[in-house]
Amino acid sequence: MQSAQFHLRPLSVFVGLALALPGAALRADDGKVLDAVVVTASSIETTLRDAPASISVLTREDIDSKPVQELAELIGTVEGVTLTRSGNLVPGIQIRGMDKSYTLMLIDGRRVNSTNAMFRGNDYDSGWVPTSEIERIEIVRGPMSSLYGSDAIGGVVNIITRKVGKTWRGSLRADAVFQEKHEAGDMRGISLGASGPLIPDVLGMRFTAGYDKRDADDDVNPRVGGTAQPGFQKIRNRYANGQLTWTPLTGHEFRLGYDTSERDHNGFIMKRDAAYLTHLGRYAFGSSELTFNFDETRNLTGVVTGQVNPNTANSDSVDGKLILPWESTGQILTLGGSWRREKLKDPALLSGWPGTPTFGTDPNAQIRQSALFLEDEISLSDKLKLTLGNRYDHHENFGGHNSPRAYLVYHLTPSITFKGGWARAFRAPTLLQGSPNWGSVSCGSPTVGCYIIGNPDLKPETSTSKEIGVSMDFGAYGGSLTLFDTELRDMISIDNRTANAAQAPTMPNFVGFLPDGRPIFGYENVARVESKGVEVGFRAQFSPQWSLRANYTYTDARNTSTAQEQPLAYRPKHAANLSLNWLPAERWTVTGTVRHVGEQYLNVFQGLKKDAYNVADLSATWRIDKTYTLRAGVLNIGDKGDDRLVSTDYNEEGRRYFISLGAEF
């Protein structure tokens, strides 16, 4: 079948284009990259070399290299990751061609999810933490449902913050971005943090806070038919968080934390408050981890432009695991479980159909889900490791489901590692998708469009994923090559809908009409999606002064549920990144990057496409002394990809200039 073929000719483009891979490599003192420790791909800490998954890491250096207001923009430069934008033009993270709703967002291993409150994917959830306090970001490409549950059917992004240390430290950073086009909005931001011991080796604390704002664009896009599409909208973020770390006994640590954040995306205002309590235990027979998490997201505006319909979403969970090394057999067993309750109060959208007798009777909905999982990491030899795992989830509306996984890691030599695995995963309908009382306006109008509702008869989505790859680390240079193949069945869709009252009854998910004549459509299981591709990474240290990192991704994502297969929108087949670093002097670093985004569909049904384009950046860092660091540069030097001609398109930011001053003390 043609859709299954890998057309790899663009690899020559990858070699010739100078494009950036932040975080594809972490360098230890001995020059080895694959010895870096990660925590997201397994139930225990492990090195990149041994991790039973395809995983990329963005380091503090990557995050600090330029101003970052939306972390998704930076994560989008990792191989296997592409971006899409919702109606508010905020980027959402897609992994290996899977929609953004299939990417699980974590902060220090704790789930964050604003989907119920905002009726969108992960486009709000990558920005709840000040970037100055992020230690690294781990991106697992491929399903991790066996460990994390149904939201991890596509992959996992884990934002890991800086730990409370044994000595006091502080940070302060101020950023400013100035647009060359005066019609475009400037950005400014400031963040600060401090942490250290209150009682040495017993009690420590951390506090961080930040604020950033991007002004809205004016008439920045070219006019088509006398009118121009809107540009970037106003984005304003405010956040603060604190954590106490208590070590009453050797081997026992308690962490108590509280986060508060507010994100304003052009008047859609989300407030999030979260608290957590974690216990980490170390024993002679193994270790344990138990976390209580309480998360409340308040949508102060609602989801319909021009209306104010606030809602409140709560997510409470308990997660625990027990890790048992079995040294005599070369195994590490992990037993774990979780319980999660999601609640939503939405007087406007959770009250039945407008105009009916039951409208407004009960604005509440909730679901509960529990799980048990087992993972066994088996050392078959010094070179070969096998990871077997399964998670059994029980959903109160959709019953029980298993998510098994098997993964092999084989070290051919100390520098060459082969990896491959297979996984099944399931994803239950969201609280909104499965609720018969939830509904929202759609089809382009809040008054004369159509109406969409939840469907309690939906089946959960299931996926089967396979991958095989090789990674190499020869000190001064290295790289990786991974092939992946994912099939998603019973994909939940609301694509079939129209405001045309005559056409509406011909669609399979047509439900009826509102009293005012608007057609009603329900979510349905109609689609099957296949996504196949290849990911390539490369790095080289040419000399102490010069280094290069690069990646290329080919993705063929298609809807195969119909007789004639259709490509998916916002999935460029070809994407590539390259970064070139130069250290001209002891305290100076100069970095040039180029990002290639291949041709992609904006609307498959209308045949609308966006041409391929390249975005080049240039930045310089001057470490003034041990405390202060100054950064400056030019972003999107060629001013490419920033013309938004149709409503389904999105802007790249145009040419702009930045300056940043940071202090570490």
Contact 279, 289 (CB under 8 A): yes
Average pLDDT, the chain: 87
What are φ and ψ of residue 13, in 5° steps? -65, -40
Q: What is the pLDDT of residue 437?
A: 82
Type of residue found at 198: L
Q: Which helix (H) or strand (E) holds 13?
A: helix 11-16
Contact 189, 67 (CB under 8 A): yes
Percent residues over pLDDT 70 in the chain: 92
- Return left, alpha or beta for 251; rule: phi > 0 is left, psi -120 to 50 is alpha, else beta: left
d(CA 582, CA 592): 9
d(CA 434, CA 489): 17
Spell out, as residue ranges, where the chain has pLDDT lower than 70. 1-35, 86-89, 119-123, 352-353, 355-360
CA distances from 207 to 28, 176, 355 (A): 29, 23, 49
Q: Which helix (H) or strand (E) holds 60?
A: helix 60-64
Tokens at 380, concatenated = 């078959």
> Which residues are paired to 333 by β-bridges?
324, 376
Q: What is the pLDDT of residue 120?
A: 60
Q: Tokens 């549950």 sit at which residue?
A: 149
Q: Which of 610, 661, 622, 616 is nearest to 636 (CA)?
A: 616
Tokens at 13, concatenated = 């483009």
d(CA 375, CA 304): 43
Q: Which tens digits make up the pLDDT trace of 52-83?
A: 999 999 988 888 887 777 788 889 899 999 98
Tokens at 225, concatenated = 């038919």
Q: What is the pLDDT of residue 17?
A: 35
d(CA 625, CA 664): 10
Q: Which of 160, 172, 174, 165 is nearest to 195 (CA)?
A: 165
d(CA 109, CA 135): 13
Burial tier of 7 (Cβ tally within 10 Å: 0-12, 13-18, 19+): exposed
What is the pTM assigned to this prediction?
0.88
Burial tier of 115 (Cβ tally within 10 Å: 0-12, 13-18, 19+): buried
- Fill in the DSSP letter of residue 116: H
- Provide the H-helix boundaries in 112-213: 115-118, 145-148
Q: Which helix (H) or strand (E) holds 392?
A: strand 384-395
Q: What is the pLDDT of residue 70?
A: 78
Q: What is the pLDDT of residue 418?
A: 97
Count other Cβ atoms within 10 Å, centred on residue 294: 14
Q: What is the pLDDT of residue 38?
A: 87
> Which residues are paired to 594 by β-bridges?
578, 616
Please list, in sequence order, all residues whose beta carbon lies within 8 angstroms of the beta carbon of residue 92, skipping any fewer than 6 positions away.
72, 83, 84, 85, 86, 100, 120, 121, 122, 123
Angle ∠(409,411,416) on CA atoms, nearest 5: 115
Count other Cβ atoms within 10 Å, centred on residue 333: 17
d(CA 323, CA 376): 10
Q: What is the pLDDT of residue 441?
A: 85
Q: Count Cα atoms within 13 angstroms, Cβ side, for 107.
A: 24
Tokens at 545, concatenated = 């002064």
Q: What is the pLDDT of residue 376?
A: 95
Q: What is the pLDDT of residue 319?
A: 95
Count other Cβ atoms within 10 Å, centred on residue 542: 12
Q: Which of 481, 368, 467 is nearest to 417 (CA)?
A: 481
Domains of the chain: 2-664 (2.40.170.20)
Q: Which helix (H) or strand (E) holds 566?
A: strand 566-567
